[in-house]
Structure 1
Amino acid sequence: MTLLFPANPDLPEPLLAADEPPVLEVANPAGRGALVLTCDHASNRMPARLGTLGLGAADLASHIAWDPGAAWVARRLSVLLDAPLVLSGYSRLVVDCNRPPGVPGSIPAASAGVPVPGNQDLSEAERRQRFDTLLAPYQAAISHLLEGRAAAKVPTVVLAIHSFTPDYPGQERPWPIAVTHRHDGGLARPLIERLRRDPAALPVGDNRPYNIGDDSDYTIPVQAERRRLPNALIEIRQDGLRSEADAHRWAGRLADAVSPLLPALARIPTPSETPTP
């Protein structure tokens, strides 16, 4: 699913060539499970026109460019729970699909202390092109999916799948998995308690290492909270996602923990709760 936006006359060429991969993927769009899944940092792909943004291969493979393993978890969870899933198609270094446009982390000049040469001194037109080409279609796809479920009266819970590095500079991160939440509609606390029954998940992070904020997050605040849908953002430590088999084990744990909670929590958004894309 790719949404097209008009070309910006201030820029000489589009960000993506016609033969490049799409800006997003919607997997299992007809899924009728209660969950809608998102994976905001699914890929470390770069538009050919931008090269590597001046970074080396090791940086592009690292957590600064994407959430390693998160897409594996999300895809498996989509199958296990018959859940629609929206995945971003390009690196968070080009534009972060989970950041409000204009905040410093949206197109980072540096990430985890690593300068990003290709993000220095961008014009407003260049920034706008990245927003329009990658961020806007991704979030519009999530909106379209949720609006369709509202029209069909399908009860819904939103779960965003992320991963985090175990060795962020200056921090100790002992949590194998974390649940990040704010206005969560009653999902987070019972989900944390169920995960704590699994020895492999201990200690479970509760809003650690991250919090949800209006300046640091987009998908949960805009897509879930404004619709008053139960929601959570899942973070899994990347050293537990070294292989697809590892990721599938975590997806199974998540499915076991969240599926009993869904019947009592899932709800249908009303049009008045649906934000304008």
Structure 2
Amino acid sequence: MNNTSDPIASQPLIAADEPGPADVILADGSSPLFLICDHASCAVPRSLSALGLPDDERRRHIGWDIGAAEVSRLLSAQLDATLVMQNYSRLVIDCNRPPQVADSIAQCSDGVVIPGNASVNIADAEQRRRAIFEPYHAAITAQLDAREARGQHSVLIAVHSFTPVWQGKARPWHVGMLYHHDARLALALGAALEREPGTVVGYNEPYDVSDESDYSIPVHGEQRGLLHVELEIRQDLIANEAGQQYWAALLARLLPSLMTFP
């Protein structure tokens, strides 16, 4: 990121007729389950000219977590659970990365150069942070604060998905249970999923959670002391409606009995 100021950064990033940075679904949901979807969309504000990418590139896994939004919506509806979704591509700014890390605004992803990020300067990065990153996380904070104020317990589930092949290597897991300091829900849900015939579960696979590489679980889960897990579902399993419905129904069946721990 260069330090040169840019007058473009003084113009609104998101136009008035475009979606806001976050949607809150079922704000008064009765379930202890509290869902977030950091990479729900591959949309890019018009002001960024699609980041110089064709639609087919933005709609690949580099632009969003394929299927995660649909699974989240279905799970929210089935359990009457609050859901906060982020409305812009992770290539604009990654809302599950601390803003100070290099891949918060990626210049290259899975070998694809992102033209619109090649010359992002400090002012541009700050604009994206203020327009998208901060409001999204503020929406999560506001919902969790409101739940706490009314005495409603919250169990945080961050819904993600991962590509089945990375750098030529197949990933065998159907679903990953990601955690850092608190593995209680990850281990319990993983064990329940392993009892489902043919389901391959990974623990901190294909990624793990850390304060350096992640934001949502460390900030909204660990810092608040909430029971939590980050789910990573393999994208080929939830790329179509049938797969999305299957995984949402499966999670809706298993999660309610796992949401209270001493």
Using the size of structure 2 for normalisation, the TM-score is 0.94
CA distance in 2, matches of 1:186, 1:177: 17
The alpha carbon displacement at 1:121 in A equals 1.9
The one-letter code matched in structure 1 to 2:232 is E
Mapping of 1:207-222 within 5 angstroms? Answer: 207-222=204-219
Q: Which residue of 2 aligns with 1:4?
A: none
Q: Which residue of 2 aligns with 1:152?
A: 150
Give RMSD over aligned pairs. Answer: 1.6
Mapping of 1:188-267 within 5 angstroms? Answer: 188-200=186-198, 202-262=199-259, 264-265=260-261
The CA deviation string for residues 224-277 of structure 1, in whole angstroms up to 9 with x for no partner, is: 100111100001101011212310110111122211111x239xxxxxxxxxxx
Contact 1:184–1:229 (8 Å) recurs in 2: no
The one-letter code matched in structure 2 to 1:175 is W
CA distance in 1, matches of 2:189, 2:113: 37
Contact 1:178–1:206 (8 Å) recurs in 2: yes
Mapping of 1:91-170 within 5 angstroms? Answer: 91-170=89-168
Q: Give the gaps of 5 or more residues in structure 2.
A: 1-5
The one-letter code matched in structure 2 to 1:102 is Q
CA distance in 1, matches of 2:242, 2:158: 20
CA distance in 2, matches of 1:165, 1:67: 9
The one-letter code matched in structure 2 to 1:216 is S
SS of corresponding position for 1:94: coil
The alpha carbon displacement at 1:13 in A equals 1.0
The CA deviation string for residues 145-197 of structure 1, in whole angstroms up to 9 with x for no partner, is: 11111111111110000010001114320111111112236211111100001
CA distance in 1, matches of 2:201, 2:176: 5
CA distance in 2, matches of 1:57, 1:11: 24
SS of corresponding position for 1:224: helix
The alpha carbon displacement at 1:105 in A equals 1.4
Mapping of 1:81-92 within 5 angstroms? Answer: 81-92=79-90
CA distance in 1, matches of 2:182, 2:253: 19
Q: Which residue of 1 aligns with 2:38?
A: 40
CA distance in 1, matches of 2:74, 2:234: 17
The alpha carbon displacement at 1:9 in A equals 8.5
SS of corresponding position for 1:37: strand
Q: Which residue of 2 aligns with 1:59?
A: 57
Contact 1:39–1:71 (8 Å) recurs in 2: yes
Using the size of structure 1 for normalisation, the TM-score is 0.89
CA distance in 2, matches of 1:52, 1:242: 23
How many percent of aligned residue pairs carry the same amino acid? 45
Q: Give the gaps of 5 or more residues in structure 1.
A: 1-7, 267-277
